[in-house]
Structure 1
Amino acid sequence: MPPALGLVTVSTTIQTAIAPVFLLAGIGAVLNVMAGRLARVVDRVRALEALHPRSTGPEHERHVWELRILDRRITVINVALSLCVASAVAVCMVVVALFIARFVSWRFGPVIAALFIIAMVLLTLGLLAFLHEVRISLRSIHVRAELLEEEQRR
């Protein structure tokens, strides 16, 4: 068996790949949070879509306003999810490149570094898009004045 395919080589490569694998676990956790937010937004859209045809006046206008915001949030969450998934794919490619480089004895250093940089840029953009979605949701939260006035009368 050629030395490049020995057990020591495989175990060393696995040790080198541990950090990217932990990064994948972190990205997975972030994706889970984003998917949860997307699911809640979709549930709210479905609820409003059911109320929309029966509403009139100011209530109808509030439904349309909220549906527009929710539509924007869905778009931004999808962008964030896509960027983070692309980052995870790039990290997977880093792991694959580590093994290929070890077994074929190629100098893949620049390729691995470039893939890792791409993964970090994609993850950063995905997290920034996620932050943007959170900011959209926070800006759209308003307690209606009539509810606040009614509460003060009691």
Structure 2
Amino acid sequence: MIIEILASGVASEVLEHATSTSRVREAVELSLAPAFLLVGIGSLMNVMMARLVWLAGRIERLCINSTSPNPDNLSRLPFEVEVDWLSQRRRLVRIAIKFSTAAAAVISLVIALLFISAFVDANIPLIVTLLWVVTIGLLITALAYFLREALMAADSPREH
């Protein structure tokens, strides 16, 4: 199977284009903006993961401390109220992470397509454009969920 692919005209065309410095430069230039977006998504996901880890740790500590009598807990919210509030926040962050991951996957596909289009004479601008719009839509959705969680974090659970 591999021999058939190598013997085909497609493989020789790819090899011919891949040895062209200007084609490689063009592919790198085209993929810079999506690559920077991918870095930004990764940084955002790092912040979201830190929030998720903190929320999970707080829920775990509350569950462990709920069984032991502690005089410091007298002035605190009821256990169930705080755990429910933290669980809602955790759910929002998890959804934001899922949308961010999907955005990262789609923008990675855009980068791959841009490289392929530089080496193979394929007309894919419509696909790249649609995938770019999908990426931005996923990212906006992720940011909206993360904003909802941040607003919840700024409020007291007594207000919910």
- TM-score normalised by L of structure 1: 0.84
- Code of the aligned partner of 2:43: A
1:29 aligns with 2:43: yes
1:103 aligns with 2:103: no
Aligned residues, how many? 142
Contact 2:99 2:142 in 1 (8 A): yes
Correspondence for 2:5: none
Shift >2 Å, 4+ stretches: 1-5, 53-61
1:103, 1:25 → 2: CA distance?
A: 24
Match for residue 72 of structure 1 among 88, 97, 104 = 88
Matches within 5 A, 1:79-118: 79-118=95-134
Matches within 5 A, 1:124-139: 124-139=140-155
User: Mean alpha-carbon deviation: is it higher for 94-103 or for 55-64?
Assistant: 55-64
Report deviation, 1:10.
1.0
2:140, 2:42 → 1: CA distance?
A: 14
Contact 1:4 1:105 in 2 (8 A): no
Structure 1 spans left out of the alignment, 5+ residues? 143-154
Match for residue 51 of structure 1 among 58, 65, 70 = 65
For 1:63-108, what per-residue CA distance to the aligned partner results, in whole angstroms no more than 9, with x for missing partners? 1100001111111100000001110111101001111222221100
Question: RMSD in angstroms over aligned alpha carbons?
Answer: 2.1
Question: Secondary structure at 1:53's aligned position in 2?
Answer: coil
Report deviation, 1:137.
1.4
| Percentage identity across paired residues of the two chains | 25
Contact 2:17 2:119 in 1 (8 A): yes
Contact 2:85 2:157 in 1 (8 A): no
Report deviation, 1:140.
2.5
Contact 1:34 1:81 in 2 (8 A): yes
- Code of the aligned partner of 1:11: R
1:47, 1:75 → 2: CA distance?
A: 18
1:76, 1:46 → 2: CA distance?
A: 18
